[in-house]
Amino acid sequence: MAKCVYCKTEIGDERAVDVCNRCGIKVWGEKMFQAIIDNMGNAKTKGDLHQGLINIDTEKKSKI
């Protein structure tokens, strides 16, 4: 289970951003935080968030 990078509270859902709702709204505001959650979630669903795979070329990445 992920923890918020600001307050270390456990985050229960499988979101792409490791920030809880309370901290996210305090940092970015309600509308912006929701936009960040939505956009990062869409990117995660598409497979655009391959953390740790920066040095792998596109041909190899598509096989993963």
Tell whether the torsion through CA atoms of 33, 35, 38 and 39 is positive or negative.
Answer: negative
* Residue partners of 17: CB distance under 8 A and separation at least 6: 24, 36, 37, 40
Q: What is the pLDDT of residues 4-49, one digit of tens each?
A: 999 999 998 788 889 999 999 999 999 999 999 999 988 888 877 7
What is the predicted pLDDT for the residue at 8? 95
Q: What is the pLDDT of residue 43?
A: 87
Q: Is residue 3 very low, low, confident or very high in pLDDT (cuts 50, 70, 90)? A: very high
Write down the domain spans for the chain. Answer: 2-50
At residue 20's C-alpha, the angle toward residues 61 and 47, to 5°, is 15
Task: Copy the structure tokens of residue 47.
Answer: 């497979």
Please tell me the predicted confidence (pLDDT) of residue 6: 95
pLDDT at residue 14, as a whole number: 80
